Amino acid sequence: MGIEITQIESFAHLEHDGRILLVDSQGNGPRRPMPGRTNYSNNEVLRLPTPLEAKTMGIQYSPRRINHFKLGDRIVRIEVSTPNIPWPSSWAWKDSLISDNAVDPIARESVYRTLHRVVSKVVLLNHAGQVLLVKVTRGFFAGHWTLPGGFVDYGEHPRAGAVREVKEELGLTITIPDHHGESGDKTLERSDSILKEAIFNDEGIDWISLTYKANYVDDKQRIIPKDDEIEEARWFNRDEAISKAISVFDRDAIKTMVD
């Protein structure tokens, strides 16, 4: 029995200020999607160009990174790049790809992977200067210690998201100072925050983490870990919290904001 060798497909994801280059099945472009299209013929399929097709079109570009992922039976290599051209008004809006069934799933997946995932967390300190960590039971860091927090909801400011997550995960009502009035009324008190961005693997998912510093001022509140999400919550001194935290974002936040 022979060994089946899967062909790696290579494409260039060329994007400039929200516009992305699509071509037809023969490599001719630029082409634009039709949002809402459900029925289409083979000659109406739209896809990303191959690197050779892009160069044949005379487009010079600067690669930013290479993403590798598998979609069904397809193994894909994507050169995510910035084209060295004026803004291409004739190219497709990236947001219009998702609702046209004629757009190759690889192109839609590539756009999906270049969207930021935003999480919001809190360095919560008690009167002794200890940091609160939680051991999560699900998600990316199941079984490990992290700062309280999670994904920012649609239409939600990261500060509000951090307050909500602490309430949901631990039953605590906290206040994060907002001296500049970024998400509500201005406060006299100031608070530190840190913004970090990173891509952790070849698949190219890009994470943005906003971490705020807040004080646990009401010791009468009882910490009640959420049954299906938090196994345990515990206070740690600074150095121990840094050594326990699984996320590089969390470790950097603690190092930066806790003396």
- Which pLDDT belongs to residue 2? 54
Q: What is d(CA 59, CA 240) in angstroms, rounded to the nearest whole number?
A: 52
Torsions phi, psi of 82, nearest 5?
Answer: -105, 120
Residue predicted with more confidence, 183 or 65 = 65
**Which residues lie below 8 Å from residue 220, measured CB to CB, with a gap of 6+?**
none
**Which residues lie below 8 Å from residue 254, measured CB to CB, with a gap of 6+?**
123, 131, 147, 238, 241, 242, 245
Alpha helices, DSSP H, located in the chain: 51-56, 105-113, 158-170, 238-244, 248-257
- Residues 122-137 pLDDT 10s: 999 999 999 999 999 9
Residue predicted with more confidence, 18 or 220 = 18
116-257: CATH topology: Nucleoside Triphosphate Pyrophosphohydrolase (3.90.79)
236 alpha carbon, distance to own chain's centre: 28
Beta bridge partners, 69, equal 76
- Which pLDDT belongs to residue 4? 56
**Which residues lie below 8 Å from residue 118, measured CB to CB, with a gap of 6+?**
151, 152, 158, 208, 209, 210
Other C-beta atoms lying within 10 Å of the C-beta of residue 218: 10
pLDDT of 81 over the 70 cut: yes
Q: What is d(CA 251, CA 244) in angstroms, rounded to the nearest whole number?
A: 9
- Residues 211-251 pLDDT 10s: 999 999 876 889 999 998 999 999 999 999 999 999 999 99
| Prediction pTM value | 0.86
8-113: CATH topology: Nucleoside Triphosphate Pyrophosphohydrolase (3.90.79)
- Which pLDDT belongs to residue 3? 55
How many Å is the Cα radius of gyration of the chain? Answer: 23
- Which pLDDT belongs to residue 180? 86
Q: What is d(CA 258, CA 254) in angstroms, rounded to the nearest whole number?
A: 5
Q: What is d(CA 36, CA 57) in angstroms, rounded to the nearest whole number?
A: 29
Q: Between the CA atoms of 103, 109, 111 and 116, what dihedral angle is there, to the nearest 10 degrees?
A: 160
Q: Percent of the chain having pLDDT more than 70?
A: 97
Nearest to 158 by CA among 139, 175, 182, 141: 182
Task: DSSP letter for 253, please.
Answer: H
Q: Percent of the chain having pLDDT more than 90?
A: 86
Tell me if 8-113 shares its fold with 116-257.
yes
- Which pLDDT belongs to residue 5? 55
Domain boundaries, the chain: 8-113, 116-257
Angle 144-146-147 (CA atoms, 0-180°, nearest 5)? 165
- Which pLDDT belongs to residue 188? 86
- Residues 172-194 pLDDT 10s: 999 999 888 888 888 888 889 99
Whole-number mean pLDDT of the chain? 94
Torsions phi, psi of 96, nearest 5?
Answer: -90, -5
141-146 mean pLDDT: 95
